[in-house]
Amino acid sequence: MIHSLFLINHSGDIFLEKHWKSVISRSVCDYFFEAKEKAAEPENVAPVLQTPHHYLITIYRGKLFFLSVVQTEAPPLFVIEFLHRVADIFQDYFGECSESVIKDNVVTVYELLEEMLDNGFPLATESNVLKEMIRPPTILRSVVNTLTGTWSNVGDTLPTGQLSNIPWRRAGVKYTNNEAYFDVIEEIDAIVDKSGTTVCAEIQGVIEACVRLTGMPDLTLSFMNPRLLDDVSFHPCVRFKRWESERALSFIPPDGNFTLMNYHVSSQNLVALPVYVKQSISFFDSGPCGRLDITVGPKQTMGKTVEALMVTIHMPKAVLSANLTATQGSYTYDLATKVLVWDIGKLNPQKLPNLKGSLSLQAGAPKPEDNPSLNIDLKIQQMAISGLKVSRLEMFGEKYKPFKGVKYLTKAGKFQVRT
Amino acid sequence: NSGTKIHGNRCDGGIKCLKQASNATTTFLCSAAQPLSPPSSVLRNEDLKEMLESNKESLKLEAMKRVVGLIAKGKNASELFPAVVKNVASKNIELKKLVYVYLVRYAEEQQDLALLSISTFQRALKEPNQFIRASALRVLSSIRVPIIVPIMMLAIKEAAADMSPYVRKTSAHAIQKLYSLDPDQKEQLIEVIEKLLKDKSTLVAGSVVVAFEEVCPDRIDLIHKNYRKLCNLLVDVEEWGQVVIISMLTRYARTQFTSPWKEGASFEENNEKAFYASDSEEKSERTEAEAYVMDPDHRLLLRNTKPLLQSRNTAVVMSVAQLYWHLAPRHEVNLVTKSLVRLLRSHREVQYIVLQNIATMSIQRKGMFEPYMKSFYVRSTDATHIKTLKLEILTNLANEANISTILREFQTYVKSQDKAFAAATIQAIGRCATNISEVTDTCLNGLVLLLSNRDETVVAESVVVIKKLLQTQPTQHSEIIKHMAKLFDNITVSMARASILWLMGEYCDRVPKIAPDVLRKMAKSFTAEEDIVKLQTVNLAAKLYLTNSKQTKLLTQYILNLGKYDQSYDIRDRTRFIRQLIVPNEKSGALNKYARRILLAPKPAPVLESAFKDRDRYQLGTLSHSLNSKASGYQELSDWPAVAPDQSVRNVEVVEPVQEWAPSVGKTKKLKSDDKFYSDNEEEKAEEESESSEGSSSSSSSSSGGGKMVADVYSRASFQVTAPSFGPVKTYELLHHMTGKGLSAKYHFPRQPCLHQPGMVAVQVTLSNGSDRSLEEIHVGDRSPASLNIHCFNTIERLEPEASVTVSMGIDFSDSTQAANFQLCTKEDGFSVSIQPAVGELLMPSSLSEQDFSREQGEKKILQAPLVQLQAKCALLLCVFNIRR
């Protein structure tokens, strides 16, 4: 399926190539560069391109292009999903997925890519399995390596996970402190129109788990109000039948960090927005200037504080500079990208933050047709805006008492206010 | 050649010197070809060679790491081949792996040297460790050297019969590699594929289907026998395998089952909203009531893929969605909507593909996505291709009820800073206006307002769209045409200018005063215009000449003269043609008379339709669909057959311990009334099965403890065999937890052939621990009568409180209904229990053809029950009960 992979950096240099079948010349990437040239932004390059003999499927992530070459019909999502999985694994192994890190660990990267695909078909994509075969770099090991040059990257035990029917968990896990943490993170996607009415709002939730438990624990996570969850997707470890019948998550967890579940509370349910924004941005016909006035206030926060509040505005090209005063926080205006960022911080309900002032336009340029839209960022600790609550976590199959913890967090996802 | 000299000086042995020198030369040439790599790389590779040939493991490893670094950068390291290949048999695993990487990369170029390594792999193929066998096969099959094809073939055949499923999986991958190396091996490889398709391991299933798709996708006959097994295994196969299996089964199902889409599908479309409100469960029940009866195998596929909509892997969700789209009855397709919309939150690239597929779906089935319309609203931060796709979908979803909402949304988009997107929105408004007649006027007015927009592209796009709209209803709109004529001077985009000119010409009778004036202006600027504008000017001139020759005769001639000497041959051609057509002279003949009818014929209005209109000719989710052109290797999805092919081809022979036991029973042809009963029962049983297996795995520490047991694969596979044994499974109490000091036991007859001995009846016992301490060593103790032949379950070492485990036993009742008494023991206690079978449990189902039936009847082997005869009349295949032995 997947013939070759090229990693390309932001400026268009190919810095790594890997072929799973016969070698394909890197000149095939020229078609991609051509498309990249045409699209102004790297995000705008079409993910699927056709060339005379090959098909190029690309993802853009962390300022890197992962370009895969496919020769015959293959589901494009299959390839895209795999490429993202590769990027996830790099992230997991090296802490970040960037050009410099990949170049520094080129041998490990190559060994990983070798194991992940056989003849272009995914072989091992579970991080737990891969970590048994190829050890992630650690500081200690890199020190020992430079001193003696003997410590090997490759695990000396052969992985058993792949053979078992729970390929996501490695065998023989041991911890002195047994702990299981679950983070319920919800993101609000919303569009609010000029007059402040909600055009659409929905919640995207995810349960991130960090499980460090000895042996083969069998966990059951149940909710106070599982009825909220009508659209879910699971990590393969979750037993679907149990979910169907009892609405509880029953699973043997992978070792370490993983995403247990994703859920979606759709716009048909009413979603309470935690903040409101009062804004007026106007440009005058007479003279090259405009006025801006934004106030943010709390709406439905259930008594919790809104933190890390931030407003980002992509200004029209004609806006030269901004002369504003903020009653709270600070603002910056990037002249090159025309992005105005107002970093507010904590929202104080007694004294609402306000940003006010004038915008100066390029002389002679026509007044911008439209007003820019506002993107809101925020965080609320210890609250899941959908109201989802974990009721308990039970463990079977092992004797010890693990330490358990659940954390809630609400964030703004794609929260946009039109003006 | 200085490079040669340097290396020559370093060497001591004469021959070695020569060899190295030649090597160095080739390197030098190679590096010269790549201007970027410095000439010092020759020297560096020389160090590497020395390091590789040293005795120190660490030096070798260091060298190999650097070599792999070179390969990763795409630099040539082929001259190191001899030095590297020596290390292929190294004991150090990492070194060995890196050598493998190198070997696979360069073996094709250095075939002779690569052969040196083959014996190492052949030896490794015999290793007791399965991982070593597998990795040897992996590398051996990746070396693309034609000479070793026979060796590969042999290795693949052996590996396909290996004990380890992992090695078998590797062999499935190797099949494709060998096929691409030497397609002549096809026949032999198909044999291996056939064998591997029968494999019951979830590990193998995905890989062998990939091989099947690559080598012999047309051999659909190989799938028949494995169809049900694949359906049942699907949930437990790894996610990548699921995608290919689902895609293959979609293709298969379209050739084997009849269409579930009724003739009156359009009627159903209208009722879609009503369907939506109702619960999904209700929907599936409706099918049962309809005259069309779905093949149970068809239903099996739909049922077993549905849970996969909850997969975290977007490719799996998409493949299930396309399966439902292509195979499910119309009203069930809505099941996939929610999951597809969920995928829109994933990465940008995923969004792109999913939106493309939704765009195609939403053309045919508006109702499917209408409730989720707001999920397709555009955000200013979306990438351009995402925006256009969302716009496309919103346009597809527009209907009388929601058009006002959509148009309000579009108004925001028109003002977008992304002008290309604003232009696309105007196109979309145009499409809404033509599709929904109620809003045509509103849209038209809105578009006219846009004509005074400051942005050039917006105005131009509006003109083009207005032109198309006016064509649909030209009568009332002479005001708009006049307005546009006034704007004409300020518009510079050629497409828009051409559109206005065309409008003037087409409706010149409505603007009799303005049109000649516009022509006058055009005559002035003709030479400076774009080709497309020139062509329309010529058109306008011709039309005016025919309708209003008094005013425009001279102007027309002037323009035709200009056109005659134009640089573009297109325009010269057109001018010549028009002149002959409209200006009467001796030569022009008959055509002249018809000039008016030719040029001023009423023209059909253009249909504004979606770019995704005919994409549904490709299977959804495929590369071809995404590109809207056939990708190489694309397999067409066939149309439903009018009459379903023989269903019995999917019946599977039981793997039976003893031949005489009975001919196997497959699915017999059922009466209509049976259908619902059958499927319900099946579901119930399947649930019970997985439930119990899960229970056992979580409690018994001896099993590998998976949530999804490989062990239940067998029970699932053989389950089909006993499919006709419908009826609720009755569970009997064996031991109450009060008498059993916490241990309770229940049993039921699974009505499956007993695996242990043919004469035995299979019994499944579920043991649960109701006490608060764990029970140890649960086993079967004394039995009475002492001669009683029981196949006991293995001793259960430990049963935790609240846990339960299901075990299977075999009991020989000697064809009597006498109870089998035995003791159920724990470490401390023993409890007497007894199992008394009902007569029915001693019988087993078997199928006979009519001929066999009468023959057997002659030999008086068969109990002649009236029921049997009754069934013999209604069914082609007889389902009779044949007493054991």
* Phi/psi at B137 (5° precision): -65, -40
Going by pLDDT thresholds of 50, 70 and 90, the confidence category of residue A158 is: low
Quick check: A107 and B623 CB within 8 A?
A: no
Does B452 reach chain A within 8 Å, measured CB to CB? no
Q: Residue written as tokens 């724990």?
A: B826
Question: How long, in residues, is chain B?
Answer: 885
Q: Residue written as tokens 């690239």?
A: B349
Does B631 reach chain A within 8 Å, measured CB to CB? yes
The beta-carbon neighbor of B348 closest among A43, A152, A372 is A43
pLDDT of res. B850 = 67
Average pLDDT over residues A355-379: 81
Average pLDDT over residues B558-579: 90
Q: Are B777 and B747 in contact (CB under 8 A)?
A: no
HSE-up of B341 (CA within 13 Å, CB side)?
A: 28
Model pLDDT for residues B703-714, shown as the tens digit of each residue: 333 333 333 333
Interface of B with A in 182-211 (CB under 8 A): 202-203, 207, 210
Q: Is the model's pLDDT at B883 over the cut of 70?
A: no
Give contacts of B141 with chain A, Cβ < 8 Å: 119
Model pLDDT for residues B457-468, shown as the tens digit of each residue: 788 888 888 888
Residue of A nearest to B145 (CA): A22
Quick check: B707 and A237 CB within 8 A?
A: yes
Quick check: A121 and B73 CB within 8 A?
A: no
Average pLDDT over residues B313-337: 90
B722 versus A292: the higher-pLDDT residue is A292
End-to-end alpha carbon distance in chain B: 91
Q: Is the model's pLDDT at B14 over the cut of 60?
A: no
- Mean pLDDT value across chain B: 76
Per DSSP, helices labelled H in A13-125 are 29-38, 76-94, 99-104, 106-116
The beta-carbon neighbor of A239 closest among B68, B372, B694 is B694
Going by pLDDT thresholds of 50, 70 and 90, the confidence category of residue B587 is: low
pLDDT of res. A269 = 59
Alpha carbon distance A353, A344 (integer Å): 7
Model pLDDT for residues B667-705, shown as the tens digit of each residue: 333 333 334 434 444 444 444 444 444 444 333 333 333
Q: Are B699 and B803 in contact (CB under 8 A)?
A: yes
Per DSSP, helices labelled H in B700-820 are 712-719
| Fold of the domain spanning A2-163 | Beta-Lactamase (3.30.450)
* CA trace torsion B514, B515, B519, B522 (10° rounding): 70
Quick check: B312 and A259 CB within 8 A?
A: yes
pLDDT of res. B847 = 59
Residue of A nearest to B164 (CA): A163
Q: Is the model's pLDDT at A87 over the cut of 90?
A: yes
Strands A256-265 and A289-298: unpaired
Classify domain A179-271+385-417 by CATH number.
2.60.40.1170
Amino acid at B24: A
The beta-carbon neighbor of B416 closest among A50, A244, A370 is A370
Nearest CA among B139, B144, B146 for reference residue B125: B139
Q: Which stretch of B61-65, B161-165, B747-751, B860-864 has the lowest confidence by average pLDDT?
A: B860-864
Alpha carbon distance B480, B446 (integer Å): 12
B434: three-class secondary structure by DSSP: helix
Give contacts of A262 with chain B, Cβ < 8 Å: 312, 342
Domains A2-163 and A179-271+385-417 share a fold: no
Strands A179-192 and A403-417: parallel
Q: Is the model's pLDDT at B85 over the cut of 50?
A: yes
pLDDT of res. B476 = 67
Model pLDDT for residues A311-354, shown as the tens digit of each residue: 998 888 888 888 888 888 888 988 888 889 999 888 888 888 99
Q: Which stretch of B581-590, B648-657, B680-689, B825-834 has the lowest confidence by average pLDDT?
A: B680-689
Alpha carbon distance A187, A198 (integer Å): 16
Q: Is the model's pLDDT at A101 over the cut of 60?
A: yes
Nearest CA among B76, B208, B725, B107 for reference residue A22: B107
Substitution target from B377, B417, B628, B696 for chain A, most A beta carbons within 10 A = B417
Average pLDDT over residues B526-546: 89
pLDDT of res. A270 = 67
The beta-carbon neighbor of A252 closest among B138, B631, B707 is B707
**A271 Cβ contact partners less than 8 Å away, ≥ 6 residues apart:** A188, A190, A198, A201, A202, A203, A265, A385, A386
* Phi/psi at A167 (5° precision): -65, -15
Q: Which residues pair with B749 in a beta bridge?
A: none
Does A144 reach chain B within 8 Å, measured CB to CB? no
Amino acid at B428: A
Does A250 reach chain B within 8 Å, measured CB to CB? yes
Q: Is the model's pLDDT at B881 over the cut of 50?
A: no
pLDDT of res. B845 = 59
Q: Is the model's pLDDT at A184 over the cut of 90?
A: yes
Does A365 reach chain B within 8 Å, measured CB to CB? no
Q: Are B820 and B847 in contact (CB under 8 A)?
A: no
Quick check: B342 and A262 CB within 8 A?
A: yes
Alpha carbon distance A60, A47 (integer Å): 9
Q: Which stretch of B350-354, B728-732, B821-825 has the lowest confidence by average pLDDT?
A: B728-732
Give contacts of B416 with chain A, Cβ < 8 Å: 370
Residue of B nearest to A230 (CA): B338
Question: How long, in residues, is chain A?
Answer: 419
Neighbours of A230 (CB within 10 A): 13
**B852 Cβ contact partners less than 8 Å away, ≥ 6 residues apart:** B663
| Fold of the domain spanning A275-381 | Immunoglobulin-like (2.60.40)
Q: Are A287 and A358 in contact (CB under 8 A)?
A: no
pLDDT of res. B324 = 92
The dihedral of CA B240, B242, B243, B248: what is its sign?
positive
Q: Which residues pair with A275 in a beta bridge?
A: A298
Substitution target from A27, A77, A114, A414 for chain B, most B beta carbons within 10 A = A77
Average pLDDT over residues A187-193: 88
Does B701 reach chain A within 8 Å, measured CB to CB? yes
**B285 Cβ contact partners less than 8 Å away, ≥ 6 residues apart:** none
Strands A354-361 and A319-326: antiparallel
Residue of A nearest to B169 (CA): A123
Alpha carbon distance B31, B22 (integer Å): 14
Alpha carbon distance B464, B442 (integer Å): 17
Q: Which stretch of A182-186, B199-203, B245-249 has the lowest confidence by average pLDDT?
A: B199-203
* Phi/psi at A196 (5° precision): 95, 0
Burial of B289 (0-12, 13-18, 19+ CB in 10 A): exposed
DSSP state, residue B813: -
Alpha carbon distance A127, A131 (integer Å): 6
Alpha carbon distance B147, B144 (integer Å): 9
* Phi/psi at A154 (5° precision): -90, 135
DSSP assignments along A182-218, one per residue:
EEEEEEEEEEE-TTS-EEEEEEEEEEEEEEE-SS--E
H/E segment holding residue B804: strand B804-812
Helix A76-94 crosses helix B348-364 at what angle (to 10 degrees)? Answer: 160
Neighbours of B150 (CB within 10 A): 10
Q: Which stretch of A30-39, B21-30, B322-331, B610-619 has the lowest confidence by average pLDDT?
A: B21-30
Going by pLDDT thresholds of 50, 70 and 90, the confidence category of residue B728 is: low
DSSP state, residue B310: G
A286: three-class secondary structure by DSSP: coil
Interface of A with B in 333-352 (CB under 8 A): none
The beta-carbon neighbor of A191 closest among B348, B379, B629 is B379
Q: How far is CA B870 from the centre of its chain?
A: 46
- Residue B785: is the preceding peptide bond cis (ω within 30°)? yes
Give A237-242's long-range contacts (Cβ < 8 A, gap of 24+).
A237/A166, A237/A168, A237/A169, A237/B707, A239/B694, A239/B707, A239/B708, A240/B235, A240/B307, A240/B310, A241/B687, A241/B690, A241/B691, A241/B694, A242/B694
Q: Is the model's pLDDT at A304 over the cut of 80?
A: yes
Domain definitions of chain A by residue range: 2-163, 179-271+385-417, 275-381
H/E segment holding residue B302: helix B296-305
Alpha carbon distance B684, B414 (integer Å): 55
Substitution target from A81, A142, A259 for chain B, most B beta carbons within 10 A = A81
pLDDT of res. B608 = 72
pLDDT of res. B666 = 40
pLDDT of res. A335 = 84
Q: Are B433 and B398 in contact (CB under 8 A)?
A: no
Strands A403-417 and B732-735: unpaired
Q: Which residues pair with A415 in a beta bridge?
A: A190, A376
A229: three-class secondary structure by DSSP: coil
pLDDT of res. B315 = 93
Q: Are B817 and B836 in contact (CB under 8 A)?
A: yes
Percent of chain B with pLDDT over 90: 8
B721 versus B685: the higher-pLDDT residue is B685
Q: Which tokens sit at A280?
A: 């007026």
Average pLDDT over residues A29-44: 87
Average pLDDT over residues A206-229: 88
Average pLDDT over residues B439-443: 83
Q: How far is CA B26 from the centre of its chain?
A: 47
Nearest CA among B838, B773, B778, B844 for reference residue B809: B778
Q: Is the model's pLDDT at B18 over the cut of 70?
A: no
Output the 3-class SS for B235-279: HHCCHHHHHHHHHHHHHHHHHHCCCCCCCCHHHHHHCHHHHHHCC
Residue of B nearest to A252 (CA): B707
The beta-carbon neighbor of A264 closest among B177, B345, B710 is B345
Q: Are A25 and A79 in contact (CB under 8 A)?
A: no
Amino acid at B820: A
Does ipTM surpass 0.85 in this model? Answer: yes
pLDDT of res. A183 = 93
